[in-house]
Amino acid sequence: MRFVFVHGGFHAAWCWERTIAELERLGHDGVAVDLPGHGARVDEESTLANRRDAIVSVMRPGDVLVGHSGGGFDATLAADAAPDLVSHITYLAAALPREGRTYPEAMAMRDNEDGEFEADVGEMLGYLKFDDDGAMWFADFEGAWKYFYHDCDEATARWAFEHLGPERFGDTTVTPVSVPAFWAADLPRSFIRCLQDHSMPRWQPMPQLNSSATSPISPPHFRARAAPIPKRWRCATPRMASSMPTSEKCWPT
């Protein structure tokens, strides 16, 4: 089975290195994407279109798409562009877009025409610093450790923090998103909900749960990428999970 991994904000392909190594040990293949504005492409402009295209360019028939955090939005755009290449899409502490709405509207489950609303549902802004050009950075290690990596050992958390890059939202915060081919394809999809997540409100994934197979697991927002897959958790592959009740798709061993 081949997995295509899409990172979230401030991160890049590097955050999947240990996960991919573990999957390869189990006999699977994995490829992680640097979205424009991140990793090796940090100096590129980041738009909805070129982020989508970065994912589609590495996809092959039968791939399992995995979107983490904000990468769930990008993975959905890629699946909309090439639904015939996707066998399954997994949202890891992530969210689906809302048809015809911007990402902030999707995150907050509010509509712009209803008036101003608080889009920082994860209360992230207090941990950030801002450059004159609008780039956002995590201000210090302690904040990143608390917000993203709070159950990681200090060495692992520092390794991740030292790799964090800037985030520039650009048109991703103001452009309404439409993914009709994604909805029409009705692709098999799963939502993995991290119960110790400090950056996603507990209510936020609820709109997706009615339409996705859901597996609650214990790690926080970034645990699976900051360290190898814990041996105490063995999750069924999408193919296996299709015939299993939700409660058995992730289990302690």
pLDDT per position as a tens digit, 2-23: 999 999 999 999 999 999 999 9
Tokens of 244: 């299993």
Edge-first strand order for the sheet with 86-92 is 29-33, 2-6, 63-68, 86-92, 189-194, 213-217
Indicate the pTM of the whole model.
Answer: 0.80
Q: Give dist(CA 195, CA 47) in Å, integer.
A: 31
Q: Give dist(CA 179, CA 77) in Å, integer.
A: 6
* Domain parsing of the chain, residue ranges: 2-252
Q: Residue 112's pLDDT band (boundaries 50, 70, 90)?
A: low
CATH of 2-252, one of 3.40.50.2300, 3.30.1330.10, 3.40.50.1820, 3.30.1310.10: 3.40.50.1820
pLDDT one-digit tens code per residue, 190-221: 988 887 777 765 544 445 444 444 444 444 45
Please compute the mean of the pLDDT values over residues 113-124 and round it to a whole number. Answer: 59
Of 212, 217, 253, 215, give the one whose Cα is nearest residue 232.
253
Specify whether the CB–CB gap between 189 and 212 falls below 8 A: yes
Examine the pLDDT at 40 and tell me if it is beyond 50.
Answer: yes
